[in-house]
Amino acid sequence: MSILLVGLSHHSAPVALLEAVAVSDSQRDPLTEELIAGDHVDEAMIVTTCNRVEVYSAAKAFHPALDDVVALLARHSGLSIEELSRHLYIRYSESAAEHLFSVASGLDSMVVGEQQIIGQIRTAYQSASEIGAAGTTLHRLAQQALHVGKRVHTETGIDSAGASVVSVALDRAAEILDETRLGGDRDGKQRLEGRRAVVLGAGAMGGLAVAHLGRGGISHIDVTNRTPERAERLSEIARDAGTPATSFPLEDIPQVIAEADILFTCTGAVGTVVSLGDVHTALAGRGDRGHLVICDLGMPRDVDASVSGLPGVTVLGIEALKADPATSGAAAESDAARTIVDAELTAYTQAERMAEVGPLIGKLRGRGGQVVAAEMRRLEARLPDMDDKMRDEVANTVRRVVDKLLHPPTVKVKELAARPDGENYAAVVSTLFDLDENVDEEAS
């Protein structure tokens, strides 16, 4: 049984499409049950967050299972299979496991290192288990992923990796705006008194930006998002923390930018959100407002690339920020996390290959037992006067001979199964000993 992953996330799909495919808690179980009710998926688990939907399934055949999963997502979202397929990513077997381990570690998140995803994976697994959709295959996968995520967050500083990029971006923005107006509090944190900021995107990174801006002493924050409710919620959080903040409609962004000193963006959208025309309009309405610094942390970028050439505008992009010496520690923590993921993936795949060979070894020993039983029946037919003591002694001798003959191939096939090409050796053993035949049949 192999793992099939079919998913889409902020890396592959625009926000509107993600919203169409989004699976609520109440929808998760019915969709999972519908999937395993078919002929091609034996186990299923749906991991869903605000910016990803991923279906993990255990399947015997790749293509039929893939068709079932894609068709399910298409029916659920109301999208055509063709439109949906353009934004899906598909992983199989070891690649699917590697992806889930990376997700659990926070390496695939909009904010690198965020821990919330671990709880979301745990919820997905528990939900699948409760309805009988998670069997042995998904159990091993989910438990290992949770172990990997916990180990990464315990043994590395990945938790602070994403936050450090946000912090550096806003520190650089403050320096560019007016170093003479920057002071420092008792903790040495830079201040942004008298400045206004616009935060575009109300996800995890947008939340970090609001928190850092508030601690830096920003005078006002305007928040916008494709979903107005989320923008209002984030502005409410800022107000509760003591920072004046309001939410506004996305279409008003040129007018609001005109009053701002910093624009921070991280929407996860696939296309451009802030156009060259938007910024032109904003600049025309700024008067003597001064320089505008745009921190574009979107991947891909949220702001039209040509904006960086405009006078009076500085664009700080994610790639340049990651290359900044101040974020080198974050990069090192990500590398350390990746090392753990790679090591755990190797251990997992080796264990999976050895687990897969278990039934084969059982068949091999069963074949040996068949041979012993058949030969004993043949001997008893030829020597009907053989007493019980003699019969037991002969049977034990034959069993020992068979066990000794089967021991080397049994040990060796376990060792070879851990190799990347282990299934080839298992197939050879199966063919040599006729293990594809029904083990209940008597050996001739």
Catalytic residues: 50
**According to the annotation, is 116 in a ligand binding site?**
yes
**According to the annotation, is 205 in a ligand binding site?**
yes
Q: What is the DSSP string of 200-235?
A: E--SHHHHHHHHHHHHTT-SEEEEE-SSHHHHHHHH
**According to the annotation, is 346 in a ligand binding site?**
no
**According to the annotation, is 27 in a ligand binding site?**
no
- Continuous segment of H or E residues that includes residue 2: strand 2-9
Check: CB of residue 80 under 8 Å from CB of residue 74.
yes
State the Cα torsion 28-29-34-38 to the nearest 10°. 110
User: Residue 90 and residue 4: Cα distance in Å, rounded?
Assistant: 8
Q: At what angle do helices 228-240 and 204-215 cross, to 10 degrees?
A: 30
**According to the annotation, is 350 in a ligand binding site?**
no
**According to the annotation, is 354 in a ligand binding site?**
no
**According to the annotation, is 120 in a ligand binding site?**
yes
Check: CB of residue 384 under 8 Å from CB of residue 339.
no
User: Residue 277 and residue 51: Cα distance in Å, rounded?
Assistant: 28
Of 348, 166, 351, the residue nearest 264 (C-alpha): 166
**According to the annotation, is 109 in a ligand binding site?**
yes
Residue the block writes with tokens 């520690």: 329
**According to the annotation, is 51 in a ligand binding site?**
yes
Beta-carbon contacts of residue 113 (< 8 Å; ≥ 6 apart): 106, 107, 153, 158, 159, 160, 161, 162, 163, 333, 334, 337
**According to the annotation, is 201 in a ligand binding site?**
yes
User: Residue 317 and residue 307: Cα distance in Å, rounded?
Assistant: 12
The SS3 call for residue 54 is strand
Report the side by side order of strands in the sheet with 52-59: 41-49, 52-59, 2-9, 89-92
**According to the annotation, is 203 in a ligand binding site?**
yes
- Give the number of residues written for the chain: 444
Of 83, 91, 102, 75, the residue nearest 7 (C-alpha): 91
Rounded to whole angstroms, what are the CA distances from 241 to 210, 245, 313, 439?
A: 10, 10, 30, 69
Angle at 88 between CA 48 and CA 146, to 5 degrees: 40
Q: Which residues are annotated as a binding site for NADP(+)?
A: 201-206
Q: Which residues are annotated as a binding site for substrate?
A: 49-52, 109, 114-116, 120
Q: Which residues are annotated as a binding site?
A: 49-52, 109, 114-116, 120, 201-206
